[in-house]
Structure 1
Amino acid sequence: MSWIGGKKALRELIVTLFPLYYERYIEVFGGGGWILFHKFPGNDFEVYNDFNGLLVNLYRCVREKPEELMDALRYVLNSRADFELVRNALARDSPASDVQRAAWFYQLIRYSYASGLTSYGSQPHDMRSNFPLIEQAHRRLAKVVVENKDFERLIGQYDRPVSFFYCDPPYFETESYYKNVGEDGFTEKDHIRLRDALMRAQGKFLLSYNDCGFIRDLYDAPGIQIDSYTRINNIKQRYDNGAQFPEILIANYDMQERMRDGPMQLNLFGEGGFLE
């Protein structure tokens, strides 16, 4: 599912940098779930969390009520007026079942321009084409705990020496983009609060960020590894084809240990990931 800040482009790399051993996988800022759906499910205890209640409700309905959700998605948004009607219903918190709210929200994601939820994309889309993906996601989420908590509380609740936290927070100085997807503002204090929560953790963590001096200084500490990467900048492609976006991955363990010491492990669907 397309989502602001989604990790589709980096999912293969990120999974190869997971620690060699852990028993608990906690995705702190779940978003579109690209990493969770790409990783091999294994036997570890898994948690998906996001502070966006609409997003969490959607995933809970996918997990628990997929047939009802697909029935609710048969209504097609044929015009900008339909799109605005659904958008306003969610904005006003109109009375509706959890399934209906999930369907509205998923429709806004699919029909909006660049999945930003704010403007009608004007592209025809048959929601029935997504039903196989919903069914696959339903099976994948069957044993996943789906949470809707503040990151600090979540980390404190699930922290153990065998825990592994993957964090993909709103990037520094791009936080305003997330206000369009139903999330409260993520402030500089929140970036610091996240750093403090991770530094207190007994478990391991891997953190995605944009490459900037503030974040590098924030995690400049003994035992912390910072690696640089680049990916295609999707926002600039229309006027600067091939533009790159610099990113960093931050961890409190050796990110190369799996590639260096671990056996190669194929997932159920080959190199393309568990869920496409």
Structure 2
Amino acid sequence: MSWIGGKKSLRELIVTLFPLYYERYIEVFGGGGWVLFHKLPGNDFEVYNDFNGLLVNLYRCVREKPQELMAALAYCLNSRADFELIKNALARDSPASDVQRAAWFYQLIRYSYASGLTSYGSQPHDIRSNFPLIEQAHRRLAKVVVENKDFEKLIGQYDRPVSFFYCDPPYFETESYYKNVGEDGFTEKDHIRLRDALLRIDGKFLLSYNDCEFIRSLYDAPGIQTEAFTRINNIKQRYDNGAQFPEILIANYDLHEREKNAPSQLNLFGEGGFME
């Protein structure tokens, strides 16, 4: 599902850098769930969390009431008038069932410009074409715990030596793009609070951020690994084709332990390149 800050383009890289062993997977800032849905379910205990109550309600309805949700979406209209009605109903906290609120919010995501939730996107889209994805997500989420907690409380609750936390918080100085992250938004104090919570855990963490001096200084600590990379800047593509966005991955374990422990491939031609 499209979402501000979603990890669609980075999910493959992120999953390959997961630690070799863990028993609990906790996605602290779940958002669109790109990493959760890309990783194999396995036998690990999985948690999806987000502070956005509307988003969490949507995922709970996908997990528990997919048929009711699709029925509520079956006759919605892709129009500016309907978009404004839905946006205003959610803003006023109008009385509605959990399924109706989930349907409204899903329409807002699908029909807004760049999934920003604020302006109508004016793009042709039949929301019923997403029903197979809702059914797949329902099956994938069957055993996933869905939480709606502050990140510090969540980390403290689920931390164990066998826990692995993947964190994709609002990027520093881009927090205004995120809706419903708290009355004051995600502040500099929250970035520091997240750092403090992660540095005291017994488990492992992988953190994705925008690469900047402030974030690097926050995690300049013993035992912390960082890896910088760039990706296409989707927001700037309209006027600056090929623009890159610098990002950084931060972890308290060896980011390449999977690669180092992968079985070496047999060379059929021997060391010299000739059949022996």
Give TM class, smaller chain.
over 0.9
How far has the Cα of 1:182 moved from its partner? Answer: 2.8
* Equivalent residue number for residue 74 of structure 1: 74
How far has the Cα of 1:164 moved from its partner? Answer: 0.1
* Equivalent residue number for residue 104 of structure 1: 104
| Equivalent residue in structure 2 for 1:182, among 163, 180, 188 | 180
Which structure would you say has the larger RCO, counting Cα contacts within 8 Å and 6 or more residues apart?
A: 1
Distance 2:61 2:78 in 1: 24
Distance 1:53 1:227 in 2: 32
How far has the Cα of 1:107 moved from its partner? Answer: 0.2
Distance 2:190 2:79 in 1: 39
- TM score, norm. by length of structure 1: 0.94
Q: Residues 92 and 247 of structure 1: is their aligned pair in 2 closer, same or farther, counting only changes over 3 Å?
A: same
* Equivalent residue number for residue 24 of structure 1: 24
Distance 2:17 2:203 in 1: 16
How far has the Cα of 1:259 moved from its partner? Answer: 1.4
SS at match of 2:5: coil
SS at match of 1:237: helix
Amino acid aligned to 2:180:
G
SS at match of 1:47: strand
Give me the CA root mean square deviation.
1.0
Distance 2:78 2:186 in 1: 34
Distance 2:149 2:217 in 1: 27
Amino acid aligned to 2:123:
Q
Distance 2:55 2:157 in 1: 21
* Equivalent residue number for residue 52 of structure 2: 52
SS at match of 1:136: helix
Distance 1:4 1:132 in 2: 23
Matches within 5 A, 1:206-221: 206-221=206-221
Asked whether 1:11 is paired with 2:11, we answer yes
Q: Give the paired residue count.
A: 262
- Structure 1, residues 176-197: CA drift from partner, whole Å, max 9, x if none? 111xx33320000000000000
* Equivalent residue number for residue 122 of structure 2: 122
SS at match of 2:101: helix
Distance 2:30 2:48 in 1: 6
Amino acid aligned to 2:150:
D
**Which deviates more, 76-85 or 219-228?**
76-85
How far has the Cα of 1:16 moved from its partner? Answer: 0.2
Provide the identity percentage: 88
SS at match of 2:20: coil
Amino acid aligned to 1:182:
N
* Equivalent residue number for residue 113 of structure 1: 113
Asked whether 1:242 is paired with 2:231, we answer no
Contact 1:211–1:248 at 8 Å: present in 2 too?
A: yes
- Structure 1, residues 18-44: CA drift from partner, whole Å, max 9, x if none? 000000000000000000000011000
Distance 2:249 2:101 in 1: 35
Distance 2:200 2:143 in 1: 28
Distance 1:5 1:149 in 2: 19
